[in-house]
Structure 1
Amino acid sequence: MPTYSYQCKGCGDTFDKLLKISERKDPEQLPCDKCQGTINLVILGAPRIVSGVSVKDKRPEGWKDVLRKVNSTAGRKSTIDI
């Protein structure tokens, strides 16, 4: 279940609730506990769900050479695997 954030228009009080998607509008139907003001759902952003998208390798040319140089100067404790 997602967590939704709400804010009172009157006093600015904010709170979070863990609700089912179908219940996300329920707190907006009730008055604020502190000032009896109107509660609004705060939309912070939603995750983007993308399927079937491939990303091409956009590493700059010569990046392996840079890693090799770093690896050679790092000594025995290097964790770089080229």
Structure 2
Amino acid sequence: MPSYSYECTACGEQWSEILPIKDMNKPTELRCAQCLQYGTVQKKLTTPGFVSDSKSVLRRAGTEWQDVLKKVKKASGKGNTIHD
């Protein structure tokens, strides 16, 4: 389930909740747990988190691919902008 972030416009309290998509606006209909005011909770716009495995693209590709890249770099001359 996705995580949604909320903020109270009255007191500035911020929190996140894991909710089904159909319930993402329910906290905005409730009062703030900190200052107890109604109509002050807003859903914040946030970017989704991103997780990947710890291996770099070059490590997953294997040593043969790294050898090809080294040959390309060597053949490109002294003025190349290829970095290791």
Shared fold (TM-score, shorter chain, > 0.5): yes
Q: What 5-or-longer segments of structure 1 have no aligned partner? A: 48-62, 69-82
Q: How do residues 1-82 of structure 1 correspond to structure 2 at under 5 angstroms?
A: 1-37=1-37, 38-45=40-47, 64-66=71-73
CA 1:67–1:43 in 2, change beyond 3 Å: closer, same or farther?
farther
Q: Percent sequence identity over matched residues? A: 30
The list of structure 1 runs, each at least 4 consecutive aligned residues, that deviate by more than 4 angstroms after superposition, is none
How far did 1:34 drift? Answer: 1.2
Relative to its length, the structure with more helix (as a share) is 2
Tell me the TM-score normalized by structure 2.
0.55
**What is the alpha-carbon distance in structure 1 between the residues aligned to residue 18 and residue 48 of structure 2?**
15
Tell me the TM-score normalized by structure 1.
0.56
**Number of residue pairs aligned between Structure 1 and Structure 2:** 55
Q: What 5-or-longer segments of structure 2 have no aligned partner? A: 50-68, 76-84
How far did 1:19 drift? Answer: 0.1
Q: What's the C-alpha RMSD, in Å, of the aligned pairs?
A: 2.8
